[in-house]
Amino acid sequence: MAIVLDGKKLSLESEKDFSKRVEKIKARNFSTPILATILVGSDPASATYVKMKGNACKRVGMDSLKIELDEATTTSELIKKIEELNANKDVHGILLQHPVPVHIDERSCFDAIDINKDVDGVTSLGFGRMSMQERAYGSCTPYGIMRLLKEYKIPLEGKSAVIVGRSPILGKPMAMMLLNENATVTICHSRTTNLPEIVSTADILVGAVGIPKFIKSDWIKDNAVVVDAGYHPEKCGDIDLEGIISRSYAYTPVPGGVGPMTINTLIMQTLESCEAQLGLD
Ligand code: NAP
């Protein structure tokens, strides 16, 4: 029987621990961890994600500071807002909901976030430090996946890991995190020519493409660890999971696998940032 990498279960268990730590901070330091969320424009999916993150804060006793900016906000106006939050001692983490409207220079805005408050792990500096195995908050989806793999004691060292997708928030940091755990990593993308063949070499496969059921089950070898980062309205991911579940060593269900770990990791890192500011880490 394949191991179910149950992100929902792990995130609920972790929340119990986070709640206790938040209580301790409130009792000892008269302080509350605060995550600032910035939503630019009115994209309904982004608004839903921001709401879910605010709800997750509430569940563990943390606060969120919601900042909603007009669609027409410029890059410099957004950077100014981020700098205000950087300077605000009450704010421990800053989340800029991705994607921002196309006229905004998203990379410059991400990189304006203070490294100590980059709890979503989106800055270039944070990526560099994480890659060099220095202390940094990890990009939440790949780091959530790493936490899940660790929880279920999935061996990584010496394994062939194939990641389909190379986005700055998912595929690239995922590759560095797996490399840092001594996996042998291959990154695939839209110009990769022999994708099925490369996927068939994976002991550990991460699907992060953004196309429903794009990775076919018959490309995947028996006993692979199958991680599906995708989530689509039709309640499926980027991998055609049905055909592989029974042949896999372990897999992430969709929903209930990677998704809950992303928000959980954001909450965890906001809490860690607050603890670091208070000298509790
Ligand atoms: P993205 O920025 O759109 O990146 C998609 C990646 O897939 C790109 O690197 C792209 O290659 C590659 N790709 C596209 N078509 C391909 C093809 N035909 N063959 C091989 N590679 C191809 O997406 P993302 O933000 O990384 O997200 C990826 C998936 O993860 C999505 O399904 C998204 O919904 C999901 N996601 C989930 C969470 C969560 O919390 N669960 C969070 C973030 C994202 P190029 O670089 O060459 O264009």
CA of 210 to the centre of ligand 1 (A): 4
Q: What is the chain's mean pLDDT, rounded?
A: 97
**Could you read off the pLDDT of 96-147 as tens digits, one per residue?**
999 999 999 999 999 999 999 999 999 999 999 999 999 999 999 999 999 9
- pLDDT over threshold 90, residue 232: yes
pLDDT band at 278 (very low <50, low <70, confident <90, very high): very high
Residues flanking ligand 1, CB < 6 Å: 141, 164-167, 169-171, 188-192, 195, 208-211, 229-231, 238, 258-259, 262
What's the CA dihedral at 260, 112, 181, 264 to 10 degrees?
-20
Looking at domain 29-114, does it have CATH number 3.40.50.10860?
yes
What's the CA dihedral at 150, 133, 162, 183 to 10 degrees?
-70
- pLDDT over threshold 90, residue 281: no
Question: Which of 221, 232, 241 lies closest to 162, judged by CA?
Answer: 221
- pLDDT over threshold 80, residue 262: yes
Question: CA 145 to CA 147: how far, in whole Å?
Answer: 5
- pLDDT over threshold 90, residue 269: yes
- pLDDT over threshold 90, residue 238: yes
Q: Tell me if domain 29-114 and domain 140-259 are identical in fold.
A: yes
Q: Which of 120, 203, 228, 238 is the catalytic position?
A: 120
At 11 the pLDDT is: 98
Is 90 an annotated catalytic residue? no
Question: DSSP secondary structure string, the chain?
Answer: -PEE--HHHHHHHHHHHHHHHHHHHHHHHS---EEEEEEES--HHHHHHHHHHHHHHHHTT-EEEEEEE-TT--HHHHHHHHHHHHH-TT--EEEEPSSPPTTS-HHHHHHTS-GGG-TT--SHHHHHHHHTT-S-PPPHHHHHHHHHHHHTT---TT-EEEEE---TTTHHHHHHHHHHTT-EEEEE-TT-S-HHHHHTT-SEEEE--SSTT-B-GGGSPTT-EEEE----TTS--SB-GGGTGGG-SEE--TTTSHHHHHHHHHHHHHHHHHHHHTT--
**Could you read off the pLDDT of 43-80 as tens digits, one per residue?**
999 999 999 999 999 999 999 999 999 999 999 999 99
- pLDDT over threshold 80, residue 21: yes
∠ CA 214-123-149, rounded to 5°:
50
CA of 225 to the centre of ligand 1 (A): 19
- pLDDT over threshold 90, residue 273: yes
Question: CA 108 to CA 113: how far, in whole Å?
Answer: 9
Quote the percentage of the chain above a pLDDT of 70.
100
Most ligand 1 atoms within 8 A of CB, residue of 190, 205, 241, 262 to mutate: 190
Report the atom number in ligand 1 closest to the C-alpha of 261: 40
Report the atom number in ligand 1 closest to the C-alpha of 171: 26
Most ligand 1 atoms within 8 A of CB, residue of 96, 110, 209 to mutate: 209
CATH class, range 140-259: alpha beta
**Could you read off the pLDDT of 179-212 as tens digits, one per residue?**
999 999 999 999 999 999 999 999 999 999 999 9
Which residue is closest in CA terms to ligand 1's atom 36? 230
| CB atoms closer than 10 angstroms to residue 217 | 17
At 192 the pLDDT is: 98
pLDDT band at 29 (very low <50, low <70, confident <90, very high): confident
Q: Which of 6, 81, 97, 238 is the catalytic position?
A: 97
∠ CA 78-82-83, rounded to 5°:
115
Domains of the chain by residue range? 29-114, 140-259
Is 120 an annotated catalytic residue? yes
**Residues contacting residue 116 through CB under 8 Å, at least 6 positions apart:** 273, 276, 277
